[in-house]
C-alpha cells in the first residue's frame, strides 16, 4: 500500500457553512443526537451526507477551538489522520512483526498465505487485524471509537477504498460519515467495554465502519443508517474480558470480524435490505443490554479470560498471596 504522503488529499471547494449554520446548530444541540433527525435536516437543507458530516464536525470542534475554525481546516485535519495515522497503522501492522505481549504479532502478515474467498472483505479483516496488532505493540492509532476497537474503521475504509480504486477525497468523506454514526453512539451511551461490554466498543466500531463503507459504495442516508444497524446487531450483548488484562485477545480478531461484518452490512444495505430497527434503536439496544451485563463481563479483569492477569493480587476477588 502507498506511503501516507504519496496520495494527495485536496480540500474540496465550496465549503461554506454559513448558509446552513443556524439550522445545523439546532441539530447539533439536540440530545440524544439522532441519525433520523440528521436525515430529516439534511433533506430539508439539500445537503449530502458527506457535507453534513463535515459541517457538524466543524460545529462540534468550534466549541473547543473557537468560532474561527473553518470546515476546510477540519477537513485537512481529518485527511491528515486518515493518511498519516490510519493508513500508516495499516501499513506498519501488515509489514512488521508487531511487539505484542503474548500473541505472535504477525497475523496480518501471515494471512496473505491463504487463498481468500471473501474478496475485499478479506482485505478489510486483514487490515483491521493489522491495526489492532500495531496498537497492541504500542503503535500510534486513532481511537475510532476506542483503542480496543481501533482497527475496524480504518481496516474497512482503506480496504474498500483502495480495492475499488476510489479517490482519497471520497475515502476521507467516508471517515467523516463514519464519525457521524459514532457521534450518534457517543450521545446515547458509554462507548466503553468497562461500562457496556465489548458491544459498546466493537459494536459501535462496526456500525461506524459500515456507515462509511456504505458511503464509499454510493449510499445515501438510508443506506448508511441501514448498514450501521445491520453491522451493530451481531455485537449486542457481547462481553469484554480481555485475556491477561491486555487489549490484545480477543480484541485483535474481533476487529477483523467486525470489519468483515461492516463490509457485508454495507453491501446488504446497498441491495436495499432495511432492518426493522434503524441505527439509533440498535445503538440504544447495545447500551441497554451492555449495562445489564454483570461486572465480570465488562472489562473488570475478573472474568474467566482475564483471570490470569491476577498475578499481583490486584484483581477483583483475587486470593493470591504475595
pLDDT, tens digit, 9 for 90 and up, residues 159-172: 999 999 999 999 99
Q: What is the pLDDT of residues 97-137, one digit of tens each?
A: 899 998 999 999 999 877 788 999 999 999 999 999 999 99
Place of cell 500473541: 103
Residue 31 lies in a domain: yes
Give the structural domain span for 267: 18-307
Q: What is the mean pLDDT of residues 230-242?
A: 95
Residue 159 lies in a domain: yes
User: What is the reported pTM?
Assistant: 0.92
Contact 1, 87 (CB under 8 A): yes
Q: What is the pLDDT of residues 26-56, one digit of tens each?
A: 999 988 999 999 999 999 999 999 999 999 9
Residue 1 lies in a domain: no
Supply the DSSP symbol for 119. Answer: T
77-107 core/surface letters (b: 16 or more CB in 10 A; e: else): ebbebbbebbbbbbbbbbebebebeebebbb
Q: Give the H or E element holding residue 256.
A: helix 251-270
Cα–Cα distance, 211 to 153 (Å, whole number): 10
Cα–Cα distance, 300 to 280 (Å, whole number): 28
**C-alpha cell belonging to residue 150:** 481501533
Place of cell 459504495: 217
Residue 151 lies in a domain: yes
Residue 13 lies in a domain: no
**C-alpha cell belonging to residue 33:** 443526537
**C-alpha cell belonging to residue 15:** 465549503
Residue 7 lies in a domain: no
User: Residue 240: helix, strand or coil by DSSP?
Assistant: strand
Residue 312 lies in a domain: no
Phi, psi (rounded to 5 degrees) for 244: 60, 15
Cα–Cα distance, 82 to 266 (Å, whole number): 20
Residue 5: band (very low, low, confident or very high) from pLDDT cuts 50, 70, 90 = very low
At 303 the pLDDT is: 57
Residue 276: band (very low, low, confident or very high) from pLDDT cuts 50, 70, 90 = very high
Q: What is the mean pLDDT of residues 291-302?
A: 82
Domain count, the chain: 1
Amino acid at each position: 500500500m502507498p506511503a501516507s504522503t504519496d496520495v494527495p488529499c485536496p480540500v474540496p471547494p465550496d465549503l461554506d457553512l454559513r448558509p446552513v449554520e443556524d439550522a445545523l446548530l439546532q441539530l447539533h444541540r439536540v440530545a440524544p443526537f439522532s441519525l433520523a433527525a440528521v436525515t430529516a435536516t439534511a433533506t430539508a437543507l439539500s445537503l449530502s451526507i458527506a457535507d453534513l458530516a463535515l459541517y457538524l464536525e466543524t460545529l462540534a470542534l468550534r466549541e473547543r477551538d473557537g468560532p474561527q475554525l473553518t470546515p476546510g481546516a477540519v477537513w485537512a485535519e481529518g485527511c491528515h489522520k486518515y493518511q498519516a495515522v490510519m493508513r500508516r497503522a495499516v501499513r506498519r501492522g501488515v509489514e512488521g512483526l508487531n511487539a505484542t505481549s503474548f500473541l505472535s504479532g504477525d497475523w496480518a502478515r501471515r494471512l496473505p498465505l491463504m487463498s481468500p474467498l471473501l474478496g475485499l472483505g478479506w482485505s478489510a479483516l486483514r487490515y483491521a487485524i493489522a491495526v489492532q496488532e500495531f496498537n497492541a505493540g504500542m503503535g500510534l492509532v486513532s481511537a475510532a471509537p476506542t483503542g480496543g476497537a481501533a482497527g475496524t474503521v480504518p481496516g474497512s475504509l482503506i480496504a474498500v477504498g483502495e480495492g475499488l480504486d476510489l479517490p482519497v477525497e471520497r475515502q476521507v468523506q467516508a471517515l467523516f460519515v463514519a464519525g457521524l454514526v459514532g457521534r450518534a453512539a457517543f450521545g446515547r451511551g458509554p462507548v466503553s467495554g468497562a461500562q457496556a461490554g465489548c458491544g459498546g466498543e466493537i459494536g459501535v466500531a462496526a456500525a461506524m465502519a459500515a456507515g462509511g463503507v456504505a458511503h464509499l459504495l454510493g449510499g445515501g442516508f438510508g443506506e448508511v443508517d441501514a448498514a450501521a444497524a445491520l453491522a451493530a446487531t451481531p455485537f449486542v450483548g457481547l462481553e469484554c474480558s480481555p485475556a491477561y488484562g491486555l487489549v490484545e485477545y480477543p480484541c485483535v480478531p474481533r476487529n477483523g470480524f467486525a470489519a468483515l461484518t461492516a463490509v457485508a452490512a454495507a453491501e446488504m444495505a446497498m441491495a436495499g435490505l432495511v432492518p426493522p430497527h434503524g441505527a439509533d434503536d440498535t445503538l440504544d439496544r447495545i447500551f441497554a443490554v451492555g449495562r445489564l451485563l454483570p461486572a465480570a463481563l465488562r472489562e473488570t479483569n475478573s472474568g474467566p479470560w482475564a483471570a490470569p492477569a491476577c498475578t499481583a493480587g490486584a484483581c477483583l476477588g483475587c486470593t493470591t498471596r504475595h
